[in-house]
Amino acid sequence: MRELLIVFLGGGFGSVARFTLGRWVSAFHATQFPWETLVVNILACFILGLLVGLADHKQLISPAARLFWTVGFCGGFSTFSTFSNELLHLLQSGLTTTLMLYIFGSLLFCVAATYCGLFIGESI
């Protein structure tokens, strides 16, 4: 029951952070490219990598804090369902180039961000 509460609280904070950051990012552009989701997912991947590096390799984060931040916060903060919905919207709109840039950019930058976070977390 305690673990459920930890994940619940982390997920709530992550969701509010995603909403707030997404609105802030969307204020800077007027294109059909889903910048807000891309930025949020890259940041979530970096944070997750950093936390895993700190928790697993340096043992600087307790198991409860790791659960709160990785499963809870990062799970609520990142958004694969929105990513998938935006991909379908781009496909249905015939924006093939934007669709491909979004897919490959998301994969490349999110994996790179996770790696960078993990590298930094292990190096601290």
For residues 114 and 45, the answer to whether their CB atoms sit within 8 Å is yes
pTM for the predicted model, two decimal places: 0.93
How do residues 100-120 score in pLDDT, each as one tens digit? Answer: 999 999 999 999 999 999 999
Tokens of 91: 């496909």
Instruction: Quote the domain boundaries for residue 52.
Output: 2-123
| pLDDT at res. 30 | 86
**Alpha helices in 27-79, H assignment, sequence order:** 35-52, 63-66, 75-77
Q: In which residue ranges of the chain is pLDDT below 70? A: none
Q: Please report how many Cα atoms fall inside a 13 Å half-sphere around the Cα of residue 61, on the Cβ side.
A: 20
Number of structural domains, the chain?
A: 1
End-to-end Cα spacing for the chain = 33
| pLDDT at res. 101 | 97
| pLDDT at res. 48 | 96
| pLDDT at res. 22 | 95
| pLDDT at res. 56 | 86
| pLDDT at res. 58 | 78
